[in-house]
A and B are shown apart, each in its own frame.
Chain A
């Protein structure tokens, strides 16, 4: 069944729409990317880029919210998830695919101990006895470095700090040894020192278990820390997809480059003021014609960028959706070279 070469998760031409006063809005527009085995892929984008909805659609979670998947395919280990009945999806979600959300407090039930909640997941998916499930709960709490896991398993969510709750969520997500872990902004609500610890725990778990991780974030710093390959989204589309070192060494899309130049850390490194991306993030009710980033792009050539849709094309480093990518290679590359020189 499984073919080692085939990606673990493969999203192809996925289109997701949500209703609005002015009809259906396309919030994920022909998104394609894949997650290999033993891989860590980061999807990076700002609010409204479609990064979270892509993940929710992949797990069959947009229909309950009123959305619809109008076309495309999501294959997990060769199985098609789009259109799969909920009963079957439930067997995959939480079992083969674990997930973690941004706000750990709303994802945990305040009325049950964390041990009970983890044990419940294992009992349902793995059919373990109560005693074995409880043992497994303690084991996974220990693996995410909750001190004295055996006694803490009997505590309620409110007795844990924000960072610990997020580690409890990770423990719950990995309790069934998933092959894929999907994490949607798992560190965004946390302090930086706590975030550093969570990322360390996630990396360690990935290394030990060989599971794949799909990590959704808006922070390029976090991407640089954890990703092996990166999918950049803007305006419901993938605009760039490349291995992590390539993406940071020589970003191909002006948006990726702009995000880097806007970061305070990068500006500090260069001893300059940060260079903001002008304008505001594109919105689903009024996607710009042509390249969706063109109204904000410093490299825009209106005759090329502002009319026809731009395709995602392959170059020697990855995929990029920019009508001027071959002309811009030098300009963007130079900015990146300056960055690595000053970083050295």
Chain B
């Protein structure tokens, strides 16, 4: 078996949020024992809502924040075990594209300077070679070569995001973390960027970790998906299977919450609407963290953390429903939704 591009084992990230007043520190456990793996050239989608810890994982993988424990390996190289000073050389191999292209590009640098900077830091190319690379990447992201002398404020959101992608891709990294790359963009330009990302990945062979809240976007972009809730992965598997036959009630709720642009179809489909509020990460629920909002919660859900169960069609889900109560035994949560009309 070949070495995976990215391997994350039992990652924990905690934020220190001050003391309780009795000298004890309080920790916000943002990522709680997450493991995942991405093959070279593959895209893994990481979905979840705000507070799920999905962005924190992206940042911890690049060591833009320090993990509390666990291990991150990039193509066999240990990212977590090396001193901070060594991280920079690894950044040549992994890059990030942020959500907001308005704040992620330095407004006082021209597009040319923005794109040359990673080459200056990570390569020893001559000035001429760097300029050739800049021209090449501008073309690849669909921007006119003449734009190189302009500044970010002269561009629309979609164009800025093209620059941000060009900046990440120009050193041909093995892994790119894309944190909500289209959610700040206008609807008509979102799909331009999605198609661009796919085309550029075909060319470069980079692996993507795509962090997004929109399951439709993730399914379109990545063959595999991991669903996060309150710092844990509750389900993972082939995107098509998770989307059509979710094995975890939270995945089912997330999918059914995406409004489909067809009024006739929406009236016909029952929806799984979650009640209650997202619990605090300072004091997460015992047992299964989703139980306080789960329409199928049972006694065991409060008592024991759910086991990871293989799901028909591939992947795993962490849910008691597969062994207790209705005993889905690896089947789809959809069978429960049709059996029981939910408001």
Contact = CB atoms under 8 A, between A and B. Distances in A.
Interface of A: 46-47, 147, 161-164, 191-197, 199-200, 218-225, 227, 244-245, 248-249, 258-260, 262-268, 273-278, 280-281, 296, 339-340, 343
6 contacts: A46-B188, A163-B277, A276-B191, A276-B195, A277-B188, A339-B262
A216 to B, nearest CB: 14
Contacts of B343: 200
Contact of A225 (B188, B243, B253, B259): B259
B133 interface: no
Nearest to A197: B273
B280 to A, nearest CB: 10
A262 B216 contact: no
Contact of A262 (B50, B188, B243): B188
B330 interface: no
Contacts of B50: 162, 191
Nearest to B216: A264
Given A192-B257, A219-B187, A275-B191, A280 B158 contact: yes
B278 interface: yes
B265 A343 contact: yes
Interface residues of B, number: 43
Contacts of A259: 187-188
B213 A191 contact: yes
Nearest to B271: A196
B259 A219 contact: yes
Interface of B: 49-50, 156, 158-159, 186-192, 194-195, 198, 213-214, 216-217, 219-220, 243, 253-254, 256-266, 271, 273-278, 343
Contacts of A191: 49-50, 213
A305 B135 CA distance: 35
B258 A265 contact: yes
B154 to A, nearest CB: 12
Nearest to A261: B191
Contacts of A264: 190-191, 194, 214, 216-217, 219-220
A342 B144 CA distance: 38
A86 B158 CA distance: 40
Given A196-B259, A248-B262, A281-B186, 18 more contacts: A46-B187, A191-B50, A192-B49, A196-B273, A220-B261, A221-B260, A224-B261, A224-B263, A224-B266, A225-B263, A227-B263, A259-B187, A268-B219, A276-B195, A277-B188, A280-B159, A296-B188, A339-B262
- Kindly list the 4 A-B residue pairs having the minimum CB-CB distance in the complex, ordered from nearest: A221-B259, A274-B191, A191-B49, A277-B188
Nearest to B293: A193
Contacts of B189: 276-277, 280-281
B261 A258 contact: no
